[in-house]
Structure 1
Amino acid sequence: MKIKKYIAASMPDAMKQVRAELGNNAVILQSKIIYTGGFLGMFKKRNIEVLAAIDPDLNTSRPPQEKPMPAPIPAPKLLPKVERNLDLEVMKELQKSPVPASEEIMKQLARMNQHIQKMSESGKLQMELPIQLQTVIDSLVHQDLDVDIQSRLTAKLLERWYLAGANSPVEEVYVWAEDFLYEEMKQYNFGELPLKKKFINVIGPTGVGKTTTLAKMAAEFMMKHKKKIGFITTDTYRIAAIDQLKTYATILNVPIEVCYNLEDFDKATKSLADCDIILVDTAGRNFRNQQYVQDLKEVVDYNSDMETLLVLSLTAKQTDMEEIYQQFSSIHIDQFIFTKLDETSTYGAMVNLVVKYQKGVAYVTTGQNVPDDIMPADPRKIAKRMIEVD
C-alpha cells in the first residue's frame, strides 16, 4: 500500500492533488487543519493536511479500457473509524505488514470500532474530521445534542462524505445533518392531536405555562375543528391558577369545573358530558416531590379515554427535564409539549428527549398570546431549527 501526505489550501485542492497522483481509487485516511509559515509566530497560513493511500494492485489489474471505479469504501458502519483513528503509527504498521493491505485494514477497523464504542460510552468524542463536517458537528454540540446522537450523526456524515467524493461544501453537510435529525425523530407521533379521546390532560411542573397552553389548545379546537370544549381544573393549590383558567373560560365562553378529589372529577365529567373535548389542567408543584404525582392520581381519573401531555419548558436544564419525566412516568405520557421556544436559542433537548424516551411532540409554543403562539410540532421543522440557529 502506498501512503502519501498532501498539504493544500483547501480540501478540494487537496483532493485534486490526490487524484492527480494516486488516481480515483485513492482512499482518504485522515484530514486536519494545520498552520504553516509565518514570521515570529504570526501571520501563519491555514492549510489542510490530507493523508491518502492507494493499493498499487488496484491500478495494474484493471483493463485499460475500463472506466475507473470510484474510490473503494469500507462497509458504511466502519467508515467513521478510518477518519477518526487511522493515525501515522497505524499506517506504518500497514506498510510493514506482510498481510494484504485490505485484510489488515479490516482488522484495524474492527479494533477501531471497539475504541469508538468506548469513546461514545465515556461521553467524549475526540477525533479529527474534515473541516466541513467539524463545522456542522460543532454547531450541534453548541445545541447540546446528546453525545450518543452526535456519534451516530458523525458516522452518517462521514459515510455520505466519502460516498459524495470527500469534497462536499459545508452547506450540503448541513442538509445531511438535517436529514439525519429528521430520521431520528420521524418515527414518533408528532403534530396535532387526533381528537379521538374525550379528555386531554396536561401535566408538568410549575411555571412551564400549562394553563396558557391549555387555553391556546382550546381556542384551536373550537375555531379550527368546531369542537365543543369544557375545562376541568385540579389546580386548587393556587387561587390565582383557578382564576386564570376561569378568565380564559369566560373569554372562550366554555364551561369550567373545579375538582378537589376523584368524586368531584366524576361529577365534573357528568356535568360536561355534552362537550366533545374536556381539557384538564393540573397543579404545578415541586416536581422533585413524588407525592405530587400520587396526589394527581387521587384527583384525576386516568382512564383509557384520556390523552396525557407532559409540558416542559425549553429554558430548563435537560437534567431537570429528565427528572421531571421520570417523576411523571408512573402516569402514561402520550406526547410532549415544549413551551418558551422563543426564550432560548438552544433546542437540542427536544431531539434528545424525543429519542431517549421515544415520545413525539404535539405542540410547541412561542409566546403568551392566546390563541396565537402555538403550533403543531413537526420533526422536519425541529431539525431545520437545530441546523439554522447559527
Structure 2
Amino acid sequence: MNVKRIVARTSREAMRQLRDALGPDAVILSNRAVDGGVEVLAMPAEDIAAMAPPAVDEPVVSLSHRAAMRETPPETEPEPEVTIKRRLIERVAVPTEDSAQLAQSVISEIKSMQARLESQLADLAWRDLPGRDPAGASIMRDMLAAGFSATLAREMLETLPKGDAEQAQAWMRNTLMKRLNVMQSETDMLDGGGVFALMGPTGAGKTTTTAKLAARFVVRHGADKLALLTTDSYRIGGHEQLRIYGKILGVTVHAVRDAADLRLALSELRNKHTVLIDTVGMSQRDQAVAEQVEMLCQAGKQIKRLLLLNATSHGDTLNEVVQAYQARGLDGCILSKVDEAASLGPALDCAIRHELNVHYLATGQRVPEDLHLANRQYLIHRAFKTRTLSSPWQLDDSELAFAMSGIQSIQRESAVALG
C-alpha cells in the first residue's frame, strides 16, 4: 500500500505535487493544517481499487465464440462486455458499503500511526533535553513544579541564552519579573479617583477587598468623598456585609439591580471623588458574566474593571476566569487569598500570559491591614520558594519527558478537533 505524504505552503501547491506524484486519479485520504502550510495524505487510485471486493466471475468467452456472437441477430445479442479495468473504476467511483468501511478503517489506522509517531518523536526530544540542555531542563522542571504553565515554560525555553544552570535560573527569574506588570504606586488609583468595579467568581473575596480599598481611601481623603455600590442582590444578605463595612467607615452604600439603576446611581454620585462597585459573584461559565460586563459598559461613565484572581485556584480555572471577564477589556487584577495558596505560580502565570496589571495582594480578612501593594521581586521569589520536594506534583528528570510529550499530544489533538 503506497501512501504518499505531501506538505506544501498552500492547498493548491499540495494538489499540484499530488498530481505530479500519483497522477490525476489519486485519492485523498486526509488533509490538515500544519505549521507552515498544509499536509495531505493520498493513495494511487490503483491501490484503492485493489481494496475493492472482487467482482463476480463472468464466463470466459473465446475469440471464436465472440466472433460468432457478433453474427447473432440483434434481438439475441448479449449485453456489451465490461472490461475489468472499467469495472474497477466503477467500483472506486461508486464504492460499496464494505469498501467504504474498509477505506475508513485504513484512514483511521493511518491517523493512529501518525499520532503515535509524533508522540514518540516528542518523547525522544524531551527525553534528550537534560543531557542536551541541562540549563533548559532545570528551568522547565522548576517552572512546572512551581505551578507555571507548560506554555509559558516553553516560551522561556525558546529565548533562553547560553549559559550554565545557575545563570539560567537567574535569567528566568529576572525575565519573569520583567514580564509581570504591577502597579508601581497606588497614588494614581487613590488620588486620581473615578469609578472602580471589582469583578470575579463567587468566593474570590470581592466584598472584603472592596472594604479594604474603601478603608484605604477614607484614611487618605475622608468618608464624604467616597461612595459604595453593590450589585449583589442574589445572595441572602449579600449586600448587608458591605453595608456593615460602610457603616463602620461612615460611607453610604447603594444597591443597584440593573444598568438603568447603575446609570441613575452614578449620576446622583457624580460629585463623589471615588466610587467602588462590589459586583455579584458568578461562575466564569455562567452566561450572565457577559451580561454583567455589558451592564458596566453601558453605565454612561467610564468604569475601571479590576478582576479578583483567587490564588488558591487551579491554573486552568484561572485561565477560564480571565477569558470570561476580559471580553471588553480589564484594567488590572487583584490576587486574593494569597495567604492560603500553596503556590503563586498559577496566578502569576495567568497574569503574565494575559498581560494583566497586578494592583494588590489580599492576604487575609482583616480590614484594611490585609491588603498590600504588589511587588514583583516578592511575588517571583515566593512562587519558587514554596516549591518542596515532598510535593506529590514534583517531577524528576526521568518524568519530565513523559509529561511534556503528553502535554504536546493533548494540545495537538485539541487543535485538530477545533480545526
Give, in angstroms, the shift of residue 275 of structure 1. 1.9
Match of 2:318 among 304, 321, 342: 321
Q: From the superposition, tell whether residues 380 and 125 of structure 1 become closer, same or farther in structure 2 (CA, over 3 Å).
A: farther
Give, in angstroms, the shift of residue 334 of structure 1. 0.9
1:128 counterpart = 2:123: no
Give, in angstroms, the shift of residue 152 of structure 1. 3.9
Alignment of 1:139-150 (within 5 A): 139-150=142-153
1:194 counterpart = 2:188: yes
Give, in angstroms, the shift of residue 226 of structure 1. 5.1
More moved, 263-272 vs 369-378? 263-272
Amino acid at match of 1:351: L
More moved, 129-138 vs 206-215? 129-138
Alignment of 1:162-177 (within 5 A): 170=166, 174-177=169-172
d(CA) in 1 for partners of 2:127 and 2:175?
18
Tell me the TM-score normalised to structure 1 length: 0.60
Q: From the superposition, tell whether residues 292 and 141 of structure 1 become closer, same or farther in structure 2 (CA, over 3 Å).
A: closer
d(CA) in 2 for partners of 1:299 and 1:150?
35
Do the aligned partners of 1:363 and 1:374 also contact (CA within 8 Å) in 2? yes
Do the aligned partners of 2:333 and 2:356 also contact (CA within 8 Å) in 1? yes
**C-alpha distance after superposition, 1:13-72 (max 9, x if no partner):** xxxxxxxxxxxxxxxxxxxxxxxxxxxxxxxxxxxxxxxxxxxxxxxxxxxxxxxxxxxx
Q: Who wins on radius of gyration, i.e. which is larger? A: 2
More moved, 343-352 vs 188-197? 188-197
Name the counterpart of 1:341: 338
1:138 counterpart = 2:141: yes
d(CA) in 1 for partners of 2:126 and 2:135?
20
Give, in angstroms, the shift of residue 223 of structure 1. 1.7
Q: Which stretches in structure 1 are left out of the alignment for 5+ residues? A: 1-114, 162-167
Q: From the superposition, tell whether residues 301 and 233 of structure 1 become closer, same or farther in structure 2 (CA, over 3 Å).
A: farther
d(CA) in 2 for partners of 1:124 and 1:316?
28
**C-alpha distance after superposition, 1:83-124 (max 9, x if no partner):** xxxxxxxxxxxxxxxxxxxxxxxxxxxxxxxx9xx969x996
Give, in angstroms, the shift of residue 261 of structure 1. 2.0
Give, in angstroms, the shift of residue 329 of structure 1. 2.5
d(CA) in 1 for partners of 2:251 and 2:299?
23
1:261 counterpart = 2:258: yes
Do the aligned partners of 2:140 and 2:157 also contact (CA within 8 Å) in 1? yes
Alignment of 1:228-307 (within 5 A): 228-298=225-295, 301-303=298-300, 305-307=302-304
Give, in angstroms, the shift of residue 197 of structure 1. 4.5
Q: From the superposition, tell whether residues 226 and 270 of structure 1 become closer, same or farther in structure 2 (CA, over 3 Å).
A: same
Amino acid at match of 2:338: L
Give, in angstroms, the shift of residue 250 of structure 1. 0.6
Name the counterpart of 1:100: none
Aligned length: 264
Secondary structure of the residue that 2:129 maps to in structure 1? Answer: coil
Q: Which stretches in structure 2 are left out of the alignment for 5+ residues? A: 1-117, 388-419
Tell me the TM-score normalised to structure 2 length: 0.56
Give, in angstroms, the shift of residue 138 of structure 1. 2.6
Question: More helix per residue: 1 or 2?
Answer: 2
Secondary structure of the residue that 1:336 maps to in structure 2? Answer: strand
1:350 counterpart = 2:347: yes
Amino acid at match of 1:142: A
Do the aligned partners of 2:201 and 2:282 also contact (CA within 8 Å) in 1? yes
d(CA) in 1 for partners of 2:169 and 2:122?
24
Identity percentage over the alignment? 24
d(CA) in 2 for partners of 1:125 and 1:198?
54
Give, in angstroms, the shift of residue 237 of structure 1. 0.6
Q: From the superposition, tell whether residues 300 and 148 of structure 1 become closer, same or farther in structure 2 (CA, over 3 Å).
A: closer
